[in-house]
Structure 1
Amino acid sequence: MRILLVLAHPLPESFAASVTRTAREALEASGHAVDLVDLYDQNFDPRLSEAERRAYFDMPYGTSEVADMVARLKAADGLVLVFPQWWFNFPAILKGFFDRVFAPGVAFTHDAAGGRIVPELTNIRLLYALTTTGSPWWLVHFYMGNPVRRLLKRGIASFCSKKLVFRMLSLHDMDRATEARRKAHLERVRKALAAI
């Protein structure tokens, strides 16, 4: 498979960067081709431009400003996202990646008759989210309702593709995670991605 591996963290020495390296090594060791997109390193602009928003319902929608990212997404069989959860949500740069790249005509088309959207990313057969949160497990799940998982699984995965495999691996309470817990999480990531 060809996997688009997307990293959304500003620090090259971050734990997210370690997760990305682990994921890439595991995928390549299993024979997959990996296309790494480091959004910060590539200085990806997350802001939806005025022109992009004004043309949102035009057919065809213009994606020239993000054509390279669109081409990479369309060439992929799977998508692996690596990011921290900040304020129980995506980093702004990753949200902007969704806003600009998962655009009409790329990730979905509008059904003019009923207002629904029709999935277009039928090439994407799996979506894995590898994430960390500073909050404990119980707070993310019971108090907040695990919003990132819901957005990815019920929103992006369901609305943009059909019958893909979704999995999310999270290291909770990251700010207090010991070295042993971090290593155990990296091993969990390695095993999960080696099984793809």
Structure 2
Amino acid sequence: MRILMVLAHPLEDSFAASVARIAKETLEANGHTVDLLDLYREDFDPRLSARERGSYFSDRYDSSAAASWIARLRAADGLVLVFPQWWFNFPAILKGFFDRVFAPGVAFDHDPAGGRIVPRLGNIKLFWALTTTGSPWWVVHLYMGNPVGRLLKRGIAAFCGKGLDFRMISLHDMDRATEAKRKRHLERVGALVSRI
């Protein structure tokens, strides 16, 4: 399987980078091909341009400025996102990736009758998120209603693909995680990813 792994963290020595490294090494050891797209290192601009937004509902969306990243998404069989949750949401650069790359004519088509959008990511069979959050599990799930999980599964994955293997693996309470807890989480990520 060809996996597009999208890393969204500004620090090269972040825990997210460690998670991406373990996941990538495990996938490659099991015969998969991994295309690592490090949004910060590739200087991805998350801002939707006036040209992109102006053509959003036209017959021909102008995706030319994001063409190289779109090509990588189209070439993939699976998508693995690696990112921290900040303020119970995606890092801005990852939100911009969705805005600019998961675009009309790429990830979905607008329903001509004005109804629900039509999924186009038939090539993507696997959609996983490897993430951390500074809050404890109960705050994320019980108090906040797991907003990132809902957005990814019910919004982006469901609207852009069909029959996806969706999974979100999170380390909660990251701000207080000990070295031992972080190590156990990396081992868990490696074990779960090895099943792909």
TM-score calculated relative to the size of structure 2: 0.99
Amino acid aligned to 1:49: S
Matches within 5 A, 1:56-95: 56-95=56-95
- Residue of structure 1 in register with 2:143 after alignment: 143
**SS of the residue 2:103 aligns to:** coil
Distance in 2 (CA, whole Å) between partners of 1:172 and 1:116 is: 34
Per-residue CA distance 1:26-53 (angstroms, 9 max, x = gap): 1001100000000000010000001110
**Corresponding letter in the other structure for 1:115:** G
Aligned-partner residue type, residue 14 of structure 1: S
CA distance in 1, matches of 2:100, 2:115: 20
Q: 1:161-172 alignment to 2 at 5 Å? A: 161-172=161-172
Compute the displacement of 1:59 (Å): 1.8
Q: CA deviation at 1:130?
A: 0.3
Q: How does 1:174-189 map to 2 (within 5 A)?
A: 174-189=174-189
The one-letter code of the counterpart of 2:126 is L
Structure 2 gaps, min length 5: none
SS in structure 2 of the partner of residue 9 of structure 1: coil
1-structure distance, mates of 2:26, 2:8: 19
* Structure 1 position 152 matched with structure 2 position 180: no
Aligned residue type for 1:139: V
Q: Give the C-alpha shift of residue 62 in structure 1.
A: 1.3
For 1:14, the equivalent position in structure 2 comes to: 14
SS of residue paired to 2:98:
helix
What is the number of equivalent residue pairs in this alignment?
A: 196
| Cα distance between partner residues in 1 of 2:178 and 2:167 | 24
- Root-mean-square deviation (CA, aligned residues, Å) is 0.5
Counterpart for residue 54 of structure 1: 54
Matches within 5 A, 1:87-106: 87-106=87-106
1:56 partner letter: Y
Quote how far apart the aligned CAs of 1:115 are: 2.6
The runs of 5 or more residues in structure 1 that have no matched partner are none
Structure 1 residue identity aligned to 2:82: V
Identity of aligned residues (%): 74
Shift >2 Å, 4+ stretches: none
TM-score, normalised to structure 1, is 0.99
Which one is further off, 51-60 or 100-109? 51-60
Between the aligned partners of 2:187 and 2:128, the Cα distance in structure 1 is 16
Tell me, what secondary structure is at the counterpart of 1:103? coil
SS at match of 1:4: strand
Alpha-carbon separation, structure 2, partners of 1:107 and 1:60: 14
Alpha-carbon separation, structure 1, partners of 2:116 and 2:52: 20
| Partner residue in 1 for 2:113 | 113
Q: Give SS of 1:82's match.
A: strand
* CA distance in structure 1 between the aligned counterparts of 2:107 and 2:137, rounded to whole angstroms: 31
Aligned with 1:141: secondary structure? helix
Partner of 1:84, secondary structure, is: strand
